[in-house]
Structures are given as C-alpha cells and as structure tokens.
Structure 1
Amino acid sequence: MTALVEAAPGAARALVLAGDAVLEAHFARTDDPLPVGLIAPARLASRSGGHGAGRGVVVMAGHEALLEPAPADWPEGQTRLAEVLRPARPDGVRDKQARVAVHAGPARPAPDLAARIAAAGHAAVLVPAHGPDQLAEAGWYAVVEEALSGRVDFAGGRLLVADTPAMLVIDVDGNGDLARLAEAAARAVAALIRRHGIGGPVVVDFPSLGGRGPRAVIDAILAETLPQPFEKTAMNGFGLVQIIRPRRQLSLMEESRRPGFAALELLRRAMRLVGAVRIEASPRVIDWLAARPALTDECARLTGGAVALRADNGAGRGHVQHV
C-alpha cells in the first residue's frame, strides 16, 4: 500500500491508500510527552498489589504513567528504563494514564509517524509543505469530517458514532431490507475501525435480525473484514455486537476531540500559503495558538511571512488567508 506522509507544525499526518480509497488515517502530535515506543528512564513513585508483581505509578519525562506489571524487585524511588506501550487518553471525564512496561534498553526516542508507517509495510511518500495539497486531494478532510461529526455514510445507510469514556458506540441507521442493511453496515463498520485506527471496546447496534442464520452472516462478515487483532461477541437477538481491539494509539476520533486539534489543522492549511498569513478562529483556538509561539514561528518560516492571529466568535472551525 502507498502512504502519503506529511509533516506540519505541531503534528504529522498520513493516509494509507488503495487506489482512491483511504484505508487508514493517522495523526501524530509532536507535543505528546509520552509517545508510544519511547524508552526512557522511569522512577517508580508508588506501587500497589503487595510484594508481588502488581501495578505501580512511575514518573517518566516529567509525567505519571501506569506501570503494569510492576516487578517485585523494583523498589519505590528507584529509576529504571521503561517503554511506553499505550498512550494517555485524556477525555475530560476519566483521564487514563499512559501505560508502560519495564524494558532492558537501550533508551531511544519514539519512532516518528513515517517510521511507523514504514514498519507497517507501507511505501511511504513524503508530501512537501508547499505545492498541491496532496493529502487534501486524497481525502484527508473527508476523514476528519467523519471524526468530528460522527456520521459515516455508506450505500443504503449511515453509521452514527459516539465516543464515551467507557467505549465507542456505533448505531446503524437506514431503511429497506434489514438483512442487506446489516451486511453493508458490517463492512462499513470494519472499514471505519481501520480507517480511524479505533482500539479498545466498541459496541455496534445493528438492526434486530430474526433467526440465527442472518445473524451468523453478519458475524462472518465482521470476522473476515475487521482489522486484526480483535475479539468479538456473536450478534445477540437485539442486534448488539461487542468488539475489542488493542489501543496502541489514539484513534483519529479521539485525537479530533483533544484541545489543539482545530488549531493544528489550521496551521497545516496556513503553511501552504506564501507570504504573510492570518489565522482566524474562535477565541479558544486562538488562545491555544498564542500560548505556543514556536508553532506559529515554524509556520512563518514555511510561508516566508508573519503569521497573525485573530479571534472571531463567528469563525466556525476557522480559516486562513493571505494578509
């Protein structure tokens, strides 16, 4: 598969393509203090579970992370090397710490997005910061719209997606023959999960199908099309299916809800202009950018002109323009 990889101020993005179809969309921020794959010194701050290999909390790169398992011979206060296995998940309701594990070393930075794409076996094509917006032409903004709206259309129906602190919930909506609707939705669900890099627990509410035969067809479609690895339940009589996948990175839907995502999207648009530019957005977005002048300085270096910020409550998701 071919992957378009683009570095922009504050974040890198990638689209894995099969012809004109977007198979995967990736988004990696540069300000994550504990990115997956980082191997660095970690000090054990506390532990639980008695004297055995329970769990603990370490301080790594100035941030707390969950150590599981915590080796019995690692005393509190001692520093060892650890590897970040799962990112932090800040959802504003029940924030989850990054998860780490003991590592023999050596220490190393986390692989960047281009390296991760190459390690997955894709042919990475680096997209320059100037010239035609290849990522947009390939469908980047369409995938972002899915993430922000939670609405994914497919032939004959629509998926309505809601991210909760406990799980991602997908509702299947549509008309016509219910069996055909469910079959098309099953393929759309599998494609969505891969496209957005969704991990963790997912519950899908399909139309209720009478009899085990039609439900078995849906189970078979999901088993064949869901990206590995996964576990799932069989569809029950109410049309519910639970899917569980490892959460190795935040999904694009999770990333799109983090503070700063809208600002980083505006920066990637601004960097493609030439000369002085102005970014107009809501006060919340402008305040986020104003607090990080290094990002606007990097954008100014790419455009060759100053980057001005203007707060506007009526700017919607914001826009950029030449000054």
Structure 2
Amino acid sequence: MAEWLHEDGIGEERAILVERGDIIAARVDWGEALRPGFTGPAQIVVKHKGTRRGIARFADGGEALVDGLDPAVTEGATLLLRVTRAAIAEKGRTKLPQARPAGPEALPAPAPGLLAELRAGPLPVRSLPITDRSFDEAGWHELVEQAQGGEIAFPGGSLLVSPTPAMTLIDIDGTLPPPMLARAAVPAIARALTRLDIGGSIGVDFPTLADRKDRLAVDAALTEALAGWKGERTAMNGFGFVQLVARLERPSLVARFARHRTGAALRALLRQAERVTDPGVLLLTAAPALRRAMPAEWEAELIRRTGRAVRWQEDTGLALDGGFAQAVAA
C-alpha cells in the first residue's frame, strides 16, 4: 500500500507518497503564512465596482485577491477571510493569494501544516527524522532535478515542463514517429502531474497527428493513465493540443524551484548540514548569495537542532545548488 513519508526540515516540510519504493506524488510546504486554510481578519482595501471581488490586506501586511464578497461590503470594511490558494511566483511578478469570506461560524486559525493535512487524508503517514535516508532511496534528488530543470525523460523522448503566467505547459520531444511518441509520452505525463504536484490549467502539446484514429488512441490512453486523477481535460484537437484543469491551491514543484532557486538551494544546504555525523564545528561552504539569503532564525535553528557552532565559507565559484556542509575542527 502507498504510504506518505514526511520530513520536517528547517524552512521546509516535505513529503513523498511512496509505493513499491517509487515516488508517485510529492508535496513541499515552505511555511508561508497565507496558504490554504489560513483564516484571519483582513481589511478590504479595493472593491471592484459592480463585482463581488476585491483586494484585502491581512494584519501582517500580506494581501490577497478576494471573491464572493457581499455586494453591501465596502472598502475599509474588515472581514474574516479564509485563504483558498497560496501566492504563486511567476516571471517578473507574483500572483497574490486568493481568499473568500470565511462564514459566520468560522474562527481565526493558522493554516494547517503539511503533516496535519496528510494525516487528515486516507493514506498512512510516517514522519521521519531528518537523518533518515528513505527520501534519498526513493529518488528525491532525481525528483528535485526534474523540478529544477523541468525535463523528464521517458523511453523514446522527453517532456519539458514550463510554468507560465497562463498555465503549465508540457512539451513533448523525441525521435519516435509522432503517433508512437504521443502514446509513449502519456504515462510520463500522468506520472509528472502527481510527482511534481502540478495543478491549475495545464496545456500538453503533443506531436501533430493528422489521422483522427491516432488522436482517438491518445485520448483513450490518457483516459486510462489519468484514472483517479482529480481534474478534467479536453480531447486532443487537430494540432495535438490537450488542456487539463485541476484545482490549484499551491505552486507546483516546478514553479517553486524555478522561481525560488536561492531559497530552494538554501533549504537543501541546511538539510545536508543536519545530516553531518562527524564531530566538530559545522562548516557551510556556499555561494555568497546563499549566505546573504540565510535568515538569522534559520541559522539559530540549525545550531539548536545540531548542538554545534556554525561557520561559513563563501565560494564565488560555486553554483547556487553546489553548496555543501561538513564538520571541521573547532
């Protein structure tokens, strides 16, 4: 039976759904305050005339797009709102979180953590110490590489997953004849949706298939591969395009790692540091950008968790994800 494995790292909760030693789904939570489930008072700072929409500002200064407002609500009013979608960073901008009125019986509440969300679901959950190697054994590093690069190989071709402002686009490339390439890509697409936690509007650009029977064959294969996936899709059009739509609550792993490369690399370095077993002071060797991005509270948490002093060595020749941690003599 599939089982969720969970780790609580510094600045990041992560979880993988593992079945027969393989990752079939993944989730990452970076602890943003305004994420789905957060309920709190917010002031309506913009009310769009003639609509039930506007912009609200919460007590911490964070803003959200609001829908479902009572027509009688005016700018300046304070309402209890529940966040339904987290902020999503895009090239050059960030989409604000989305929220709705929480209802008369709701109370202010923080967003549930990832572990709590998983435990509320139907599958078993096992929380692991950060030193456990189960994530590595299941292929976590390969998954992160796919999320960072957006490229996923499959027999005969590859997928290129690109987050855009309008949708997540999946392009298919390969050397097989178009009908064979399209069919070969289907299992990889279905697998990528859950492994990379992709939701919202998703466009899949298959090779153009002139013969209608070939398009119908791909549609049938998609129906089978996406059984159990919670979303809707269109049939393939004459240009090989298929649109999928699923509920969007948070950034996909591709969007998160593509738009927050420094934050992702810093969290990975901290995870390495927690796993150092040799005695001595922790030495973090990293690109200067990682040192500058380190929040003081994260470094303090690393010291608390490991019981060690921490030193930094900046190396301008290292890439963002090239940092490493080791123990050195005091």
Specify the TM-score bucket, using the shorter chain as the normaliser.
over 0.9
Deviations 1:140-192 (A, max 9, x none): 11110000111101122211222222222211112234323211201111110
Query: Aligned residue for 2:298?
Result: 295
Question: Could you say what secondary structure the match of 1:137 adopts?
Answer: helix
Structure-2-length-normalised TM-score = 0.91
Distance 1:214 1:11 in 2: 44
Give the percent of matched residue pairs that are identical in Structure 1 and Structure 2: 35
Query: Aligned residue for 1:59?
Result: 57
Query: Aligned residue for 1:151?
Result: 151
Task: State the Cα distance separating 1:63 from its structure 2 match.
Answer: 0.6
Distance 1:115 1:215 in 2: 42
Distance 2:183 2:30 in 1: 36
Counterpart AA for 1:129: I
Q: Which segment is superposed worse, 172-181 or 56-65? A: 172-181
Deviations 1:34-87 (A, max 9, x none): 02111111111120033xx52111111321110012221323222221110011
Query: What RMSD, in angstroms, separates the aligned Cα atoms of the two structures?
Result: 1.6
Structure-1-length-normalised TM-score = 0.93
Distance 2:183 2:78 in 1: 52
Query: Aligned residue for 1:268?
Result: 271
Maintained 8 Å contact 1:93/1:165: no
Distance 2:229 2:107 in 1: 29
Maintained 8 Å contact 2:162/2:254: no
Maintained 8 Å contact 2:15/2:26: yes
Query: Aligned residue for 1:205?
Result: 205
Maintained 8 Å contact 1:25/1:196: yes
**Gap regions ≥5 residues in structure 2:** none
Query: Aligned residue for 1:20?
Result: 21
Counterpart AA for 1:68: D
Distance 2:73 2:46 in 1: 10
Distance 1:165 1:281 in 2: 32
Counterpart AA for 1:94: R
Maintained 8 Å contact 1:271/1:300: no
Question: Could you say what secondary structure the match of 1:54 adopts?
Answer: coil
Query: Aligned residue for 1:167?
Result: 167
How many residue pairs get matched? 317
**Gap regions ≥5 residues in structure 1:** none
Question: Could you say what secondary structure the match of 1:37 adopts?
Answer: coil
Query: Aligned residue for 2:44?
Result: 44
Query: Aligned residue for 1:76?
Result: 75
